[in-house]
Structure 1
């Protein structure tokens, strides 16, 4: 397709991407920042100001220690923490020695961790103290797991926090038996640098789990260049300058939260206010106190803050740009205008379209040419084609089909899944399984999903993953999972369950929901369970979720 979107490229933004410090891994940016501006504030954590030099030295101390523990280039290390400085240090420490960062959602329960750690063949995990009990239950079932670090978030709090802190930061420090205290590593003397050289274009530095088009989560292998490219593209598309201050409240374990909270502050060498998680009062105070200029959020957060008690008397006028994502509710012009009025001028618009396999942010919204309802235009060095679902031929503007993407952010493939890789990655193009179209003006519109992934509260939920977890229930013989519309979550999970004969009449649907609540992350467990005598299936026995989905859609239309 002709790059028709270039006619709407923002004024003052070059169409050629130039990297601030050149084409090299972001951990080299960490090192250069420490050399150029050692005392500049890199992160602010509830009042604790962490300098560029501290980020470099703490990540290097951990890198050295990991080498002493036998971690080699290419080894996979899980990060199982909420947002905290330790997450930042660990991310860059792992990449300094050529090992691979594997983010783990802090909402995961034991069964989910067991699957993922075995799938990635994890050598080590760095865990928050309060999350360790989930790991303790299954660590013996992961044969590759050699050691676990634990850390207490409060280890990096100031003596007098400047913002309200969540309960996790009030826990008394404990180092569970059989784990290593991560914070002790940061008190070690920094003697030397023993890093591995990495190939920025070819070496994998990050593995994020995604369903791709089908199945339980698979590890998408992302290179150092993938991360650098998408970070730089995101920054230069919005004309960030040295006077900007970022706010990171979205989970760093998610690819979008990682770009905004882990990568961009390092790439730009501008300060970032880091919160362990979103809480309204802490977020408002952070914007007021530290004069935050740029923030990434999801639409429900903004909608909620608009009705927060006393919000009209608060000073959010430092905000210039609020990149937001439509999760649960869309980023509409009405919502944007209300936010602009509250903040005295902050521009709020859809952040981007992207997926894990492309390190997200494949599009961006031109700040001077916002089109609500769209995902913006393709970013630097990006081609997007819309393919006919049947013929796979490229469609002209305005026609709806499968979104395919090609740019320097495209992943290398799925970890040890060549068949799944060949289904998704073809001649450098990612076949997303998403439905959309490109307008005559070059804006991408997302229409839905070919694949059966459920998007609940902004999280990706994979039906086969939930089904596998539900099958661990002793009373369940068969199960199928679909997404159903939900006004607050966008979609929520519904499970169709066939009970074992001896369980019929002895267990209720509500009891299955409660069991799932205790065995799965909060965004993932089914809110609805329906018992069935059987499930629709092919002659080969494969359950046809599509028929269940169509059935529920028909019921909704006739309700």
Structure 2
């Protein structure tokens, strides 16, 4: 339902979306910020301040360096990085020459990275030097030509003001046959000439399951990124005065929106952490007077459980929005957080997906409805449809969530048939089940699609299955998600062994093998051996039947 038909719209919010500096790509907002407030801190990285002027200059330099390596407009450039200043620099540097940012999870192992690199046909990767062994393993099987490495310590201050993770304190590695990111930027001379881009050009290719199948690259435009940054900043009050704590991974669409794009749009400051640590969160809020934090519910609980947490001054914190991954956000947890912070509210952030650049809804601060995901954001329409007839459901009736907004994707990278299934006349068919109540608050009820959510990470059954059957003893494998009190869902695998199986193959051994071959959140928690798996006449595995048998 569109905003004008919502039963509630906050009186303190403008009725229409207004762009702060007009319709232009977010890297031009960064450039404007650098001109108007060159000394203002854009990023605080464990105490090291990187000003807007410096961030703009570094991303200009990196853009030039990429151009010199032969990167052209429209080409994919892969980011294989955790949260860091280098992520900001690379993200906007890539987009300044009209290339497409293509994030890869730094939790990937060889097979996962190889799949995404080959699907993109990528020639350039920007990565942490600690991840180089994985890149070296897959490079001969890909089209990679240039490897740009960086060390998270390059921007650390001599005396950090926040607890620094041990793993990013290691010495810098200079590896033959690769480029050092800092050296590339330092070698650039002369003014940045730039590349003219259109708002409809592709700025981001982020991998997602869509409704079914292996991961697919959702193509999002400069307009999508700008629209969502503007809509979230306006509906959720991300302001120029704000200091935002960024902990959620930037390679995830929600982290990218709220931790990278929104602050740049708003000309705010980011206190950036490489990964979640409850003590570092407390230190970051207290030391740098953070006002805004987007979190995941288990993070909030971990922070409140720090033994001496009450000694930290959290009075600056004005806004906390969270997502219920693994643990549902309840009124009791919200009240506990408000008491813990001495006044900061905590409630559900938003509903969204990669194909829409997320945050299709928001929760009005003055009219919170627990158990819902809020109301449609600016210029966003949400419908609930019957999956068989296409009829629009009445309030309270469950059906498929279908979304339209200026933020929707342009299709899946080189997958036209899958695009047609999900994107129809400007509407994204999410594959999610939900309802709209009488005031048009969205209630998310679950997924039609087979994607599994483990602690907020998307796990695609086909991908895990394709890796499992590479084990020399496995003939067939089927994967589905099962409920878990801590992680929301975990992976369960059904395995058929090859004839005359090795007696040493046990569930424990297979799980240990999987830990070496795939990101930790994809590793099966449970393995069940079967003589056969239910399949269609065409040989497709019927996961639905397995789920019914397991329930």
TM-score of Structure 1 vs Structure 2, range by shorter chain: over 0.9
Instruction: Work out the CA distance in 2 between the residues paired with 1:270 and 1:422.
Output: 38
SS at 1:66 equivalent = helix
Is 1:402 equivalent to 2:386 in the alignment? no
Cα shift at 1:179: 1.0
Q: For residues 246-395 of structure 1, what are the structure 2 equivalents within 5 Å?
A: 246-395=244-393
| 1:94-109 matches, cutoff 5 A | 94-109=94-109
Q: Deviations over 1:117-136 (max 9, x none)?
A: 00011120000011111111
1:485 aligned counterpart, secondary structure: strand
Alignment of 1:73-472 (within 5 A): 73-142=73-142, 144-200=143-199, 202-472=200-470
| Runs of at least 5 residues in structure 1 that lack an aligned partner in the other structure | 554-559
Q: For the Cα contact (< 8 Å) 1:149–1:179, is it kept in 2? A: yes
Displacement of 1:550: 1.0
Please state whether the residue corresponding to 1:300 is helix, strand or coil. helix
Provide the C-alpha distance between the structure 1 equivalents of 2:44 and 2:104, rounded to a whole number of angstroms: 23
Measure, in 2, the Cα distance between the counterparts of 1:399 and 1:422: 26
Deviation, 1:308, is 1.6
1:371 deviation in Å? Answer: 0.6
Give the Cα separation in 2 of the matches to 1:166 and 1:150. Answer: 19
Residue 265 of structure 1 aligns to a residue whose secondary structure is helix
Alpha carbons 2:435, 2:443 under 8 Å: kept = yes
Match of 1:58? Answer: 58
Equivalent residue, structure 2, for 1:556: none
d(CA) in 2 for partners of 1:190, 1:60: 11
SS in structure 1 of the partner of residue 400 of structure 2:
strand
| 1:332-380, Cα deviation, whole Å (9 max, x unpaired) | 1110000000001111111100000000000000011111110000000
Unaligned runs of 5+ in 2: none
CA deviations over 1:263-312 (Å, ceiling 9, x no partner): 11210111110010011111110000001000000011111222221222
Instruction: State how many pairs are aligned.
Output: 551
Relative to structure 1, the CA distance from residue 389 to residue 126 in structure 2 (aligned partners, 3 Å threshold; closer, same or farther) is same
Deviation at 1:7, TM superposition (A): 3.5
Structure 1 runs of 4+ with >3 Å offset:
1-7
Find the aligned partners of 1:510 and 1:15 in 2 and give their Cα distance. 57
Q: TM-score, normalised by structure 2?
A: 0.99
Maintained 8 Å contact 2:204/2:219: yes
1:501 aligned residue = 499
Contact 1:3 1:442 in 2 (8 A): no
1:65-101 per-position Cα deviation (integer Å, ceiling 9, x unaligned): 1111110001101000110000100000000000000
**8 Å Cα contact 2:279-2:303 kept in structure 1:** no
Q: Distance in 1 between matches of 2:172 and 2:311?
A: 38
- Is the 2:64–2:188 contact (alpha carbons within 8 Å) kept by the matching residues of 1? no
Distance 1:163 1:453 in 2: 36
Q: Residue 519 of structure 1 corresponds to which residue in structure 2?
A: 517
Q: Equivalents in 2 of 1:228, 1:91: separation in Å?
A: 14
Q: Deviation per CA, 1:399-453: give whole Å up to 9, x if none.
A: 1000000000000000010000000000100000000000001100000000000
* TM superposition shift of 1:502: 3.0
| SS state at 1:414 partner | coil
